[in-house]
Structure 1
Amino acid sequence: MSTYSDLRQDSFQGLETLATAFEGLVRNWKFSSELTGDVITPLQGSNWNGDAAESAATAVTKARNELDAAFEEASAIAKALREAHSELAAARADLDAALKKAADHSLTVDADGANVSWPAPTSEADKHDPSYEQTYRRLAQEVGVDISKAVARAEAADAAAATALGGATGTDRTAFRPSSGPEEQGKQAADLLKLAGNISDAQLDQLNKLLKDHANDPQFTTAFYNRLGPDGFLKYYGSMATLSSGKDGRRPQAIADLQKNLGLALATATDTHNLPHLSDEWEAGLRRAGATRVEVLPGGSNRASGSVQPYGYQILSNILQAGKYDPHFLNPVAEHVTQLAEMPGFFTSTPWIGSDLDQMKLLRGPDGGFNPMVGVLDALGRNPEAATKFFHDLKTEYNLDGSVKSYSQANDYLAKLTAGGDQSPLQDILQGNGFIPSGHAEAPGVHALGLALEAATTGRASDASPDAPLPQHTPEMAKVMHDVVDRFGNGDGPKLLRKGADFADLAPSLGNLTAAYMGDVQSSLDLYDKTLPTYGAPAKLDHDNTAKLLGALGRNPEAYGAIAQAQQAYTTAHIQDVILHRDSHGAQFDTAVFNAAHPGGEVAGILTSARTDALVNEMKDDAKAYNDSIDRNVKWGRKVWDMTGGKLLAPVPGAVPVVNYLIDHATSSYYIKDVNTADAAVSSYDSGVSAVQSSVKEAVEQASQGTGLTQTQIEDLSTGAVHAAEAGESHSRGLFTMAING
């Protein structure tokens, strides 16, 4: 079925009869059950032994397997024939509707269906009516388009039927084929993707099912992507998405599902731990295709010079947001995209117009942006190992075509991605910008950068369960954290995090990773206390830069909540540790408790000062945002507790009964501010000081229970710890008021 004439003349009655016959054959299939009941079961119960018996059993079993294979092949053929008939009959109905429209308006369609003409005017009124020809020309164009769509639908149905029937029967003509193997099914899925914009809803459903069912099968996924090739993969998917942009119904969701399924399959196919997997040459070809324009928009549809086409990486971007990727594949792509994005205007200077972007709406991000950095950073956020390598390891420089230019270059990705102003690789083209470069980092890219940095420094994927434990900090993770603190606690860093600044949306993520490194934060603020434990490798944070960063983050409610909860949990755990092991401190036990309370006070003092400044000067007394954040971020208090105090209690005799009490109070809401207080500055300061006092006192009193200390000793310890924390709070507040935070 390839021409208008074929579709016009065929009623497909023969195909319908054949599909019905195969369906009846499958419904009434009894061969296998009859062979089992009449032959195999009696044979097994006959007690016949010997070589002849074994030969007979082998032959009969082989016959049954052949019958089962024949049944599966017949079922697959019946399904393929029925789907082909449904689609071809629908295409014929579409054509009949177009021809009826032509007849109703006295239009004439030639024998090839290529030309539609209209009658010449006969009346004097029609001859002098300027709208006569315009009206008929429009009708003729509409009928011509409808005819073309009907023929294209029939061609797609033909191609899909050939693919399905080939997959059902295989190439072996000497035996039945129950189902094709994963490699053949991968090729079948690739052939469906090659239908691009001509794919029907039924065929798209079939493609999605194949990809979803075999997403973790390296044989299927490798065969799928090898058959398409990197260039074909991007072109066929891009064409399918753009030509589906005007369709409604289930199509948009089906394309979204396909995008996800392609990402999951790509992750499997590029995992070097799998056999087989895609070659380095294939991946090099993908980088080359990523930096090349891919023709997915109809040429000349919008301009005399033809439509501008998207880069391959702009098509790939959202696909990368699904799947767990091997750094061997993801990092070269991430590095290449970043280096291209660093080139002024590479992804943002295209003179897009609204109709172009409307056609590509299923390829663009949810925000409407089209910068592939968003998808790459999001992928890094879901793949912590790759994220750590991206920000830590020496970088590889790539040529424009994705080939390697040089190895072992200094890693400057953090500096480049956090550049302010029009040098930012995170700027984008959005409708609100008039489809021109925005001149600054856009919020979606900044948010994705935050997820990537969290993954790189904490080892936690952005899509991990909130209850998932944090892995120990490795030296590489700690080094990235050190670099982040230096970047945003120094120079223009704090200003970039201010409300309304380029990287204000990064503050919540920086708050999360600061919470995860609370031991390092407190160690950096108290330079003389070497007993403060860190979680894995130490980050060796700079004192001034850490203080400045805390001051900047304290102005953001979400960051404030995460850090405050973590500070409270860490300080509680450290005080508890000192009290539970007081014998090791000897005569300096009291001092050790006071020392444990002091750095927590320093963190709290900077946070309180920053919150006060924000409430008075930036947020106009919007204390509710801070209070809500404290409640939302209780998870960070619990995570830090699990990393510190929770591990310490288990081996200590008599300590278990206070675990639940301590965790509840270690993550309590001491930092919540009374929103009804008239003076925002005074109430913010008072609540901050009160938080330090109450939390430290509670920590000492509860950790001391069951340790043999008298009530007087406990009171002396808790009061001394409160004064130590107050001293830390006062000192750090002084640092803040001297504007060390920039």
Structure 2
Amino acid sequence: MLKFDQVLHAHLSGLKEAVTVWSETVSKLEKTKEKAETGLQGKADKADWKGENAGVTQAFVRKTAKEFGDALTEASSIRNILRDAESEFTAAKTELEKLVAEAPGKGIRIDQDGVVSYLIHPDRRAKDYDGPKPEQADFEAMRSAIKAAVDRANNADDVASRALRGLVGSDKMNFSGTSYDSLKAASKAQDAEDAHAAYELYKKGDEATPEEIDKLNALFKANQKDPYFAEKFALEVGPKGSMEYWADMGDPSDGSRLGVDHRDKLKELQTNWSLTLATATHSTSPEMEQWKADVIKAGSEPIQTRGTSPYGFQVMSNLMRVGDYDDKFLKDYGNGLVVTERKMTHDGALPANRAWHQITGGPSHLNWMGGDLGNDPMIGFMEGLGHNPKASTDFFNSSIDLTPENTKDDKKLDPFDYFTKDRDWPEELNDKGDRTKEPGYNALGHALESATTGHPYDADPEGLKDVRTKENAEVMQKVVERYGDDPKYMHQQPGIDDSLGKMGAAYIDEFNRSLEQENATSMQEMPDSPFGARPDAKGEPRFGAEFENSLLFNRGDAVNFLSTVAQSETGHAQLSAAQTIYTTSVMDEVAPKPGSGPARELDLTDAKTTLRIGAETHSIFDQSRMGQIDQQYEIDSEEHKKAVGRTTEWVKFGVGAAAAGGVAVLTGGAGGVLVPLAAETVGGAVTTLIGMEADDIAEKYSEDEILKKKSDDLKDEALDKGRNNALMPGQAYARTPGWSRDDANYLEEELTKYVKDSRGHVRDDSLPDPYNEKKDGKVR
């Protein structure tokens, strides 16, 4: 694997010389081949040899003459490979040289390992510095360009080295005769070779040895994002081939030990197989278009193994849990899946679990990635949507024609309503051996995360941006209405609360705009609001012109949704951390800049409004969570005290937060919670906040000490610490470099006093009652 410095400082003169030498060799062999064919072989063909000479010598002469032709073919191929590799290396090296030369002019430094940083760090710039001031987007663009150049060189190196080894071959007595007219042709030939090798291993099914499964995994990983390999493999195996193979792997009755002794290998294989098919679906060749149609057609058909008979949809859905599938294919697949389920349940008269009972045999083990066995095909499909934001957004904003074969009726289904309200998700067997609906609702949450945020739910936090669109916001409006309407939807859907918390965090800016309203039903933004809508990258209203001055949610719906989600321990933590960092970012944007004048003479109106809304929002979160704890656990019980003690742990979610490019990603236990900031540029208050420490009851007391306290006393203390933590944005602003000590002291005292006075004022909103469901006299 070539590194940045190796590509940048590569000496290509030897490679250029080799191209020249091989070109000369090709010219000489062309002449030699001609002489061999017209002279040596021509005379042998005309000779009237008889006896042993006719059977041996003549054949030998012909074979010898042919070797000159093979030598020419091999030499031409070597020349072509070296020529194109030298061209690719030169292009990559030239691009890196260009980037290194241009970097200082952009205020960027590139070190010997290709690491990008400030040429002069902002903290070390002179007061009169007027040079370039690169933003996060500039650094990201530079890193991306460097990676592309290094990848180009590595790809050429990999293909060329493999091609040259293949050309030389293992037969020392004969030339290979393999012909490559370009590096690209060699790459395609290698892909086809690998695809066929994978196919040969596929044919072994569950009779393959663990070592053969390793080889199959290696072939998939080596060609993971290669469209030619993916298409070749998908077509060679066939639409039903993948289903039959995976169903066979999940048949527990045929004696295979792979699923018993090598679950980790099957988990890896499921991931790699899914990624390969995902890549293949992006092909628009006639053969792949037919493949996609045939996959959907086979979804309603049983896939028979020796002891099981899962439906095609059940099998295929488990092969789309990871990977970037084609958006149209995913939507078409989902429509076909829903239509099939509705037919099998007689339009919902039967529960969904009745649809997917296998016709014969026992249940299949179709999912090796954990969480469930894979019998409900909606789970894998939702995971697929969770990794494909555009498809997920389109799906939840569309309607499904339940009778596509009948053009005269208009029988439609709203997929958002169906999956969030109407469908009774089946219980699945989880990794602990318990039957639970959590796997299904967890997957539904993932799909809704991608549909509302525009990012895969498990996207790498590094480099994330605010990419929300009008279409994403339309799904979020539905989410807020559904889950804010009645707490039962969240509480009766185990596993969805963390996703709702992430969605709430991703729209915390819009919720703040709503919470500033006096009127619970008004959809008009407050005049001169410090929470004004932030435009998209093109300077246009992010959610369309209609929402430039109007709201996505009214205050009443915002309060209902946020307070419902905050009843959950995870939701409370995610929303609290998001609110704190967002409030701080607004302070950076609208409050007087540090050092802009004597603090006592500055207009702090916007700053106080920002902190007031932040404090009131935290109060909503804390009251909702405390109310839920009181309902869920008996007062003074061990569970009650521990739950109260954990309510201030949300401060850990901000630990390790990465803030840049208009967003913050909370990674300190939050699993990549994306929070929009008030501006593209990260201000000093946000930077200060990330480095601050906050009060946490769980760290203050040992577990034994917590259990000795009265629940009411502990709750009062937790609420007090919650209030203190809500002061952090004001404190971070006051402690930002640039203020004098006197100004900082005045601001911290003035702003924190204001927040303390306003925190208890929640505008008389009636928060939703904490949800609980009593069964057998016990609170659940």
Taking structure 2 as the reference length, the TM-score comes to: 0.62
Q: Is contact 1:381-1:462 (8 Å) kept?
A: yes
The aligned counterpart of 1:471 is 466
Equivalent of 1:664 in 687, 691, 712: 691
Q: Is contact 1:317-1:374 (8 Å) kept?
A: yes
Structure 1 position 378 matched with structure 2 position 405: no
Structure 1 position 412 matched with structure 2 position 405: no
Query: CA offset at residue 317 of structure 1?
Result: 2.0
| Alpha-carbon distance between aligned partners in 1 of 2:26 and 2:647, rounded to the nearest angstrom | 84
The aligned counterpart of 1:388 is 393
Structure 1 position 217 matched with structure 2 position 238: no
Residues 344-371 of structure 1: CA deviation (Å, up to 9, x unaligned): 34553555699712x6466796423510
CA distance 1:310–1:49, change in 2 (3 Å): closer
Report the aligned-residue RMSD: 4.7
User: Which residue identity lines up with residue 389 of structure 1 in the other structure?
Assistant: D
The aligned counterpart of 2:547 is none
| Alpha-carbon distance between aligned partners in 2 of 1:328 and 1:624, rounded to the nearest angstrom | 48
Q: Is contact 2:505-2:574 (8 Å) kept?
A: yes
The aligned counterpart of 1:626 is 647
Structure 1 position 731 matched with structure 2 position 761: yes
Query: CA offset at residue 457 of structure 1?
Result: 1.5
CA distance 1:60–1:427, change in 2 (3 Å): same
Q: Is contact 1:371-1:427 (8 Å) kept?
A: yes
Query: CA offset at residue 483 of structure 1?
Result: 1.4
The aligned counterpart of 1:580 is 592
Structure 1 position 261 matched with structure 2 position 272: yes
| Alpha-carbon distance between aligned partners in 2 of 1:220 and 1:554, rounded to the nearest angstrom | 47
Q: Is contact 1:382-1:463 (8 Å) kept?
A: yes
| Alpha-carbon distance between aligned partners in 1 of 2:768 and 2:400, rounded to the nearest angstrom | 42
Q: Is contact 1:570-1:645 (8 Å) kept?
A: yes
Equivalent of 1:595 in 609, 612, 615: 609
Residues 170-206 of structure 1: CA deviation (Å, up to 9, x unaligned): xxx9975599653354345335424434545555444
Structure 1 position 455 matched with structure 2 position 450: yes
Query: CA offset at residue 464 of structure 1?
Result: 1.9
3-state SS, counterpart of residue 302 of structure 2? coil
Structure 1 position 613 matched with structure 2 position 627: yes
Query: CA offset at residue 468 of structure 1?
Result: 4.2
| Alpha-carbon distance between aligned partners in 2 of 1:697 and 1:431, rounded to the nearest angstrom | 41
Query: CA offset at residue 287 of structure 1?
Result: 0.8
Equivalent of 2:401 in 397, 418, 425: 397
Query: CA offset at residue 55 of structure 1?
Result: 3.3
3-state SS, counterpart of residue 469 of structure 1? coil
| Alpha-carbon distance between aligned partners in 2 of 1:248 and 1:52, rounded to the nearest angstrom | 59
CA distance 1:210–1:579, change in 2 (3 Å): closer
Q: Is contact 1:215-1:264 (8 Å) kept?
A: yes
Residues 490-549 of structure 1: CA deviation (Å, up to 9, x unaligned): 1x3x12323xxx214211111111112111111111123622045553561221121112
| Alpha-carbon distance between aligned partners in 2 of 1:48 and 1:429, rounded to the nearest angstrom | 68
Higher relative helix content = 1
CA distance 1:550–1:366, change in 2 (3 Å): closer
3-state SS, counterpart of residue 354 of structure 2? coil
3-state SS, counterpart of residue 460 of structure 2? coil
Equivalent of 1:566 in 564, 578, 603: 578
Equivalent of 1:555 in 567, 584, 589: 567
Query: CA offset at residue 215 of structure 1?
Result: 2.9
| Alpha-carbon distance between aligned partners in 1 of 2:466 and 2:768, rounded to the nearest angstrom | 37
User: Which residue identity lines up with residue 213 of structure 1 in the other structure?
Assistant: A
3-state SS, counterpart of residue 401 of structure 2? strand
The aligned counterpart of 2:490 is 497
Residues 280-338 of structure 1: CA deviation (Å, up to 9, x unaligned): 3321211111111111234xxxxxxxx6x211111112211122112122222123324
Residues 702-741 of structure 1: CA deviation (Å, up to 9, x unaligned): 4475666783x66665455345534653232842468599
- Aligned pairs for 1:49-68 (under 5 A) are 55-56=31-32, 63=71, 66=74
Equivalent of 1:721 in 747, 751, 758: 751
The aligned counterpart of 2:5 is none
CA distance 1:62–1:695, change in 2 (3 Å): same
User: Which residue identity lines up with residue 310 of structure 1 in the other structure?
Assistant: P
Structure 1 position 348 matched with structure 2 position 359: no
Q: Gaps (5+ residues) in structure 2? A: 1-16, 35-66, 79-168, 180-185, 518-525, 537-541, 544-550, 634-639, 666-674, 773-780
The aligned counterpart of 2:247 is 238
Equivalent of 1:513 in 497, 500, 503: 503
3-state SS, counterpart of residue 325 of structure 1? coil
User: Which residue identity lines up with residue 609 of structure 1 in the other structure?
Assistant: Q
3-state SS, counterpart of residue 367 of structure 1? coil
3-state SS, counterpart of residue 210 of structure 1? helix
3-state SS, counterpart of residue 580 of structure 1? coil
CA distance 1:366–1:431, change in 2 (3 Å): closer
Query: CA offset at residue 484 of structure 1?
Result: 0.7
User: Which residue identity lines up with residue 557 of structure 1 in the other structure?
Assistant: E
Query: CA offset at residue 692 of structure 1?
Result: 3.6
| Alpha-carbon distance between aligned partners in 1 of 2:198 and 2:407, rounded to the nearest angstrom | 35
| Alpha-carbon distance between aligned partners in 2 of 1:397 and 1:668, rounded to the nearest angstrom | 53
Query: CA offset at residue 615 of structure 1?
Result: 2.9
The aligned counterpart of 1:526 is 516
CA distance 1:377–1:278, change in 2 (3 Å): farther
| Alpha-carbon distance between aligned partners in 2 of 1:241 and 1:649, rounded to the nearest angstrom | 50
| Alpha-carbon distance between aligned partners in 2 of 1:698 and 1:590, rounded to the nearest angstrom | 14
Q: Is contact 1:489-1:549 (8 Å) kept?
A: yes
CA distance 1:214–1:739, change in 2 (3 Å): closer
| Alpha-carbon distance between aligned partners in 1 of 2:25 and 2:496, rounded to the nearest angstrom | 77
The aligned counterpart of 2:298 is 289
Which of 240-249 and 595-604 deviates more?
240-249
- Aligned pairs for 1:34-73 (under 5 A) are 55-56=31-32, 63=71, 66=74
The aligned counterpart of 1:481 is 476
Q: Is contact 1:271-1:325 (8 Å) kept?
A: yes
3-state SS, counterpart of residue 294 of structure 1? coil
| Alpha-carbon distance between aligned partners in 2 of 1:380 and 1:646, rounded to the nearest angstrom | 30
3-state SS, counterpart of residue 731 of structure 1? coil
Q: Is contact 2:584-2:686 (8 Å) kept?
A: no
Which of 513-522 and 687-696 deviates more?
687-696
User: Which residue identity lines up with residue 628 of structure 2 in the other structure?
Assistant: A
From the CA coordinates, give the structure whose radius of gyration is larger. Answer: 1
3-state SS, counterpart of residue 497 of structure 1? helix
Q: Is contact 1:613-1:681 (8 Å) kept?
A: no
Structure 1 position 445 matched with structure 2 position 440: yes
**Seq. identity, %:** 21
| Alpha-carbon distance between aligned partners in 1 of 2:758 and 2:248, rounded to the nearest angstrom | 62
The aligned counterpart of 2:719 is 688
Which of 531-540 and 213-222 deviates more?
531-540
User: Which residue identity lines up with residue 452 of structure 1 in the other structure?
Assistant: A
Residues 114-159 of structure 1: CA deviation (Å, up to 9, x unaligned): xxxxxxxxxxxxxxxxxxxxxxxxxxxxxxxxxxxxxxxxxxxxxx
User: Which residue identity lines up with residue 423 of structure 2 in the other structure?
Assistant: S
CA distance 1:414–1:726, change in 2 (3 Å): farther
Which of 564-573 and 340-349 deviates more?
340-349
The aligned counterpart of 2:553 is 541
Q: Is contact 1:290-1:313 (8 Å) kept?
A: yes
Residues 23-54 of structure 1: CA deviation (Å, up to 9, x unaligned): xxxxxxxxxxxxxxxxx99x969x99997687
Q: Is contact 1:335-1:396 (8 Å) kept?
A: yes
Q: Is contact 1:398-1:405 (8 Å) kept?
A: no
| Alpha-carbon distance between aligned partners in 2 of 1:612 and 1:466, rounded to the nearest angstrom | 31
- Aligned pairs for 1:166-315 (under 5 A) are 176=177, 181-183=190-192, 185-201=194-210, 203-242=212-251, 246-248=255-257, 251-272=262-283, 276=285, 279-298=288-307, 309-315=309-315
Taking structure 1 as the reference length, the TM-score comes to: 0.65
CA distance 1:49–1:335, change in 2 (3 Å): closer
| Alpha-carbon distance between aligned partners in 1 of 2:387 and 2:381, rounded to the nearest angstrom | 10
